[in-house]
Every structure is written in structure tokens, then in C-alpha cells.
Structure 1
Amino acid sequence: MNLETPKKFSGLVSQAHEVAAQFFRPLSRKYDQAEHAYPKELDLLAALLDGMNAGSPDAVGATSASKRSATAEEGIKNGGNLAALLGVMELCWGDVGLLLAMPRQGLGNAAIAAVANDEQLQRFRGTWAAMAITEPGCGSDSAAIRTTAVKDGDHYVLNGEKIFVTSGERADAVVVWATLDKSLGRAAIKSFVVEHGTPGMSVTRLEKKLGIKASDTAAISFVDCRVPAANLLGNPEIDVQKGFAGVMETFDNTRPLVAGMAIGVAKAALDRTRELLKDACAFDYARPLFAVSHAEATLYRLEAEWEAARLLTLKAAWLADNRQPNSKEASIAKAKAGRVANEVTLKCVELAGALGYGEDELLEKWARDSKILDIFEGTQQIQLLIVARRLLGKSSSELK
């Protein structure tokens, strides 16, 4: 097994790391303290990324995380999913909240890339899209969605409320999950692109949060909101046999990206803690664990956990690039990376003592930012449930 970064992506990784170090890090504390203020500095960076992607078959970022770009060619392919993941890992070494606030890099963009048809891909190109799934009575159980979409001529009429929508206020549009028929359960859930300014759609509040404060998190209501039928992503027909699979394809692409965010912030904490402890610890990997200090042994264990999460996440993205089923692997990566990021960042605060707890260091911020990465895009518990279903061959009704 060759575990090195593919040579074709070395430039991407290097550039992303420089952006994280020279652009994101200096802005981290500013927008952590100015919650809900839009980081205008990101506009230039987003424009540069748009320029890189213009007309390129090897686009990078959220729009490249799709199985559609994978080819059926013989041999191993390292494609858009792996490129997006490697970029996310490096950028989140800089700041998770700022990445989530990047124009046209929202999870809604990944959803469009995953399930939109060719005409929709072209029409929504350049649109910054947020993703709206969670509702007041529906969290990780996406099949329990109650927002409705009723066909009316050339439109669908949406009614319902969405909460915890990342970039919900700032984005150009929101990809909204809604049901066409509650009696048919998860099979009737479809996703719709609803552009801001559409009558009947309104942002009702912005959340105050523990972390990722540079990113706005909104609650949005839909009251008789008329959306063009052409904005329903993918196949409008309800396929009871296929069930929820069409919409869930989005998660196969986005969960490895969220795992990548966790890996990036955990690596930032490990790197900084190592720097802070360099005068007190030898960091000699040749010495057995019983012969080193507790701080050293702890850091070595955290590094091992981090490496395991990283490799699992790379595998999930690689499978998508090679058109292989990856739902189980995407959930495994998300569960492992989210848990590891929480443990690593909190333990690094502990190892650094009072220095880690104060605002002179970013360690305390990374610990706060990391918690959401174990929650959104499906909580730790729902990921473990999905993995169990896949391993045991059980349906969602058989194993709850």
C-alpha cells in the first residue's frame, strides 16, 4: 500500500496549507470574537478558487466531491473526492469556521454535485448553496423530515421549518430536503434548490454557538414557498424500491469531507502541542512507552488515533473516486474522525495546561470548534447505527 499523497495533488496540498497558515490562522481569533460578522477577506480567496476551477476537469473543492466524475476506466483513480478531501484537511488545519464560511464551498454545493442532472449542474454553477436538513422535530433521523413539497403545475409548494443551516443566511441558495408524500416515508424525500429571495422563504434567527463562530448558522421557515419544479435535484419520481438511496448519496460524498475537517483541526492541535512541549519532552519514538513521560506517551497515542482516522477517511473518498460503494466507509470515517478530533483537541488543552485554556493560544478555540464535527452530518450515534446496519445486513426498520 502506498500511503503517500498522490503526486498529482502535492501542489494542491501545499497551496491549501499556505492558505491555512498565512490567511486563515491570522483571521481565526478575529471572527471567533465577532460572531455573525461576515469574513469579507474570504471573497478574494473564493474568487481565486473559482478561477482555478473555471473550465477545469479537475476542479477542487465541494463541487468536485461526486461519484459522477469517476470514470469506469481500468486501474486505480485518484480523483475529485480525494482532491476535495486533501484540500479540506489542510484548510481546517487553519480554521474550520472560515472554511465553512467560504463562498461556493458549502455542503449544499456538494449535494448539487452529487445528485443534480447535467442541466442543473450547469444552471447552478457558481451558486453558493447551503444545506437544510435538520428540523425542530427531526435531527439525525433524516427520514423523519416533515417539511412538505406539494406539486402545483410547474412548481412545488414548500411548507416547513429548517434549523442549524450552515451558511443559511449568507449563501445564494439552500438545498432543502422535503417530502412529497409523508405516507410513503423516506422514499418520498427529495432535495430542492431554493434561492434566497424566493417569496415564502425567510431566515428567522441566527444561532449563537460554542464554536465555528465565523460561520453563520440559521433557522429558515418556508410558508407556501413556490419553487420551480426544475429545481428538484435528480429524479422527481418516487421509487419505493430505491427508497432513500437517491438523496442519501449526498452523505456518501459529504461525510468524508466532514471527517476531513475533523482530521485537519486535530492535526493543528497536535502540531501546536508538540511545539509547546518540545522543551519538556524528548519526543524520541525509538524509546519504549514505559520509558517516556506521561505527556509524551499521551501524545503518541493521540497521534496513532489521528492516523487511523485519516486513513479511514482517505479510503472512503478513494472508494467514491473509483465508483465503489462507500456508505459504510463514509460513516466509519465520520464516526472515527469526529470522536478522535474531540478527544485530541481537549487532551491537547489539558497537556498545555493554563496556556492551552487561555485565548493567547488557539488550542481552546480548536477544542470548541471540534465538537460540531462529531454532531453535524449525522451524530456519532447515528453513524454507528448505520455501520451496524451495513455489517449485519439489516434495514432501518429492522435495526433502530
Structure 2
Amino acid sequence: MINLELPQKLQMAQKMSHQLAHAVFRPIARKYDKIEHCDTPEELIPVGAMLKNVGMSSQRTSSEGSAGVSEISNGANMMQVLATAELSWGCVGLMLSIPGLGLGNAAIQAVGTPQQKQKFGQLHCAMAITEPGCGSDSAAVQTTARLQGDNWILNGEKIFATAAQRGDAVVVWATLDRGKGKAAIKSFVVEKGTPGMEVVRCEDKMGLRVSDTAAIVFTDCKIPKDNILGSAEIADTAEARKKAFGGVMQTFDNTRPPVAAMAYGVARAALEITRELLEKEGVVFDYGKSLYNGSALQAEIYRLEAELEASRLLILKAAWMADNNQPNSKEASMCKAKAGRVGNRITLKCVELCGSLGYGEAELLEKLARDSKILDIFEGTQQIQQLIIARHVLGKSSSELK
């Protein structure tokens, strides 16, 4: 029998995250939506310290529980998607602004050595992949890294780097040899204040306005040789190249389920607000009746709720697989594609159904709709996710199916 209930320890973490979102995030969500390029919100500093301690505790528990090879576990990945969904229900922009919980931290946890995890694990690490000429095709990175003595020298430009201004460090994707394609793509940790790294601007955005999104330029930026994540060797066979780039791309297998959870949390918040507003106007939701025995408005809400639930189950599956050391690249893309698309549809439909209340600032619906759009784009667009899924289903390589 399949048991889809969450263990008690995860239910407690989920409840605590919801309480934090309700008590801290929701009351200040509109305030910080109107303030762009501010410093880290002061309300988030103690939150970051608290969650960092919780994360360290859960990692210890997860590592202790992994001693038995056959043991089935719900660990750090499951806890992360559950907490992310609840915090995003409060405000996804504030959630992304919590000190110490950057996307770069996920990269370090995915491919970093124990020494690197210890050295950089307590920092707030941003992620820098996208470039002016390189978006969804991560293998087209043009930023270069060359070894000079005991240091790497980085040159290039990165855009749309989340938390790059406020963060303590940036995980940068760069190529060791532009002529060798994705096999030469590596990731490097560059700490804030390193000479040659300059944050040149912060972007004005439609959504996630409290979360800083920056452009960075690297000019002969010198970092220690040990700051590379993974091996510095460039694979010389097709199979080795595939394995090497797969290690770099494993970062996305870890981060796509949490991004899907963000989309789920935002969509759930919009749907709950919409239900409350409709119920105040006398709309009754009766789940004992057939979908076709109610009004068109009721049927629309039921369909949106079903789509949201499908997203949730896909997210949980991808996280569970990661916790149990099962390859989850296809499932990570499936949950990201589904939740990103559904999140957009639900938030926009909620604005539509609530009319002037949905479009105005008296409620958070218009903000949720603005925030949701990027969640279908970053960490891989809808089209990229579908391409990855198709490759897995059809057994095709990236060169065979583009």
C-alpha cells in the first residue's frame, strides 16, 4: 500500500514554516514589494539565523540516517520543499531574501567536497549562470576560467544573479575551454570583496521585487585553486564528458523541486484568498456534488485545486527520490514544468475571478500574479523542462534531441 502521509517530524517543520510565513512574511509582504534595492529586510536576519540552525540539524540527522543502505528516508530535500512551499505562501520574494539560503548553497551541497561544505556552508551564496548571450542553454557559457599557478582567473559577465548584491559569495559557472563545449563547464565559488568581481547593477523587476537580482562583471578575478566545485579535469571521451557535465547539472536536480514548491506555494496562497473572497459573496463549495452540477465558477475553482494537487504530488516525488539517492532529473523537470505552468494559470485566473479586488492592491492577488511569472522561467524555462523530459522518455541525448 502506498502511504502519502508526511512523517510527524516533517509535519512539524511544515507547521512551523507556515506559522513563520503567516506571522512574519504576510504582514510585511506589501511593504517590501514597494521597496526595491533595499538592504536585507531587518525582519529576516533572525529568521536566517534560526533556519540555518534547523538546516544544520536536519543535515546531521539525514547523514546519520543514511548509514543503512536499504533505509528509506524523507530528509533534507523533502523538508526543503515543504518549508519552501509554506514560506512562499507568505511571500516568495522574502523567502528568497533570507540570509544564508541562496541558490548557490544548493550547488555547494550538491557537488562540493566536505571541506568546501564546511568552508562555504555558512555563507549566503548566490548563483551566477545566465549571461547576456546565454540563457536556457547552460552549455553555451562564455565566462572563462584559466589556471594560473595556485589561482583561477575569471573573466566574463553574468546577469540575473539572485542575491548577488546581498550575498556573501557567488557560485559562478565558467568554461575552461570554449572550444570543448559543455565538458569544460565548471562552477567556482567567488567570495564577496574579491578583487576583479564587481556588481554593476541591480535589476528593476515585475515580481520578486524585494529579492535582489544583479549583474556581475569579472575582470581578471583571482580566486584560490581549491574554489572549484568538482574536478578541474576536462573529459576526453563522449561518455566522460556526459558524466562530467551531469555532475554540474546535478545542481538543477536539487534546485528545481524547491522552485516548483515556490510556484505551488504562491498559487495556493492566491487560490485560498480567492476562495475566501468568493465565500464572503455567498459562493458555496460543495465537494459532494459532481463537477457538472454546480456553477461554472465553482467548477473553475475545483479544476484549479486539482491542478495544484497534481503539482504537489510531483514535487514530493522528486524530493523523495533525491533523499533516497535515486536519479530524479526527469522528475525534477516534470514537477518544475507542471508547477510553473499551473502557478501562472492559477494566479492569473484568481485575479480575473476577483475582478477589481484581484487587480487592485487591497489584496495580494495582483502581487502573487506578478511573482508567479518568474517561477515558470528561472531554473529552466517551460520549453527546456519539456525538452529534458522528452530526452528521458525517448532515451535521446542532448545532441540527438535539441
Q: TM-score, normalised by structure 1?
A: 0.96
Aligned to 1:244, the other structure's residue is in SS state: helix
User: Match of 1:381?
Assistant: 383
Distance 1:372 1:68 in 2: 37
Aligned with residue 322 of structure 2, among 306, 320, 323 = 320
Distance 1:57 1:293 in 2: 46
User: Match of 1:288?
Assistant: 290
Letter in 2 for 1:114: A
Aligned with residue 346 of structure 2, among 344, 347, 351 = 344
Distance 2:296 2:58 in 1: 49
Aligned to 1:41, the other structure's residue is in SS state: helix
Q: How does 1:96-115 map to 2 (within 5 A)?
A: 96-115=92-111
Gaps of 5+ in 1: none
Change in Cα spacing, 1:350 to 1:123, as seen in structure 2 (3 Å) is same
Deviations 1:99-150, CA, capped at 9 Å, x for gaps: 1111110100111111100111111121110000000000000000000000
Q: Which moved more, 1:67-76 or 1:227-236?
A: 67-76
Distance 1:71 1:263 in 2: 33
User: Match of 1:167?
Assistant: 163
Q: Which moved more, 1:139-148 or 1:5-14?
A: 5-14
Q: Tell me how far 1:72 sits from its aligned partner.
A: 5.2
Q: How does 1:1-400 map to 2 (within 5 A)?
A: 1-38=2-39, 39-54=41-56, 56-58=57-59, 73-240=69-236, 241=240, 242-278=243-279, 279-400=281-402
Letter in 2 for 1:348: C
Moved beyond 6 Å, runs of 4+? none
Letter in 2 for 1:319: M
Gaps of 5+ in 2: none
Residues 70 and 321, structure 1, Cα contact 8 Å, conserved in 2: no
Q: Tell me how far 1:264 sits from its aligned partner.
A: 0.5
Residues 163 and 214, structure 2, Cα contact 8 Å, conserved in 1: yes
Aligned to 2:42, the other structure's residue is in SS state: coil
Change in Cα spacing, 1:7 to 1:140, as seen in structure 2 (3 Å) is same
Distance 2:258 2:338 in 1: 13
Distance 1:267 1:58 in 2: 28
Distance 1:40 1:344 in 2: 31
Distance 1:52 1:207 in 2: 32
Deviations 1:338-364, CA, capped at 9 Å, x for gaps: 000000000011111110100010000
Aligned to 1:156, the other structure's residue is in SS state: strand
Q: Tell me how far 1:294 sits from its aligned partner.
A: 1.3
Aligned to 1:238, the other structure's residue is in SS state: coil
Distance 1:188 1:25 in 2: 44
Q: Which moved more, 1:246-255 or 1:273-282?
A: 273-282
Q: Tell me how far 1:291 sits from its aligned partner.
A: 1.7
Distance 2:334 2:46 in 1: 35
Q: More helix per residue: 1 or 2?
A: 2
Residues 69 and 80, structure 1, Cα contact 8 Å, conserved in 2: no
Distance 1:17 1:239 in 2: 45
Residues 112 and 229, structure 2, Cα contact 8 Å, conserved in 1: yes
Q: Tell me how far 1:213 sits from its aligned partner.
A: 0.4
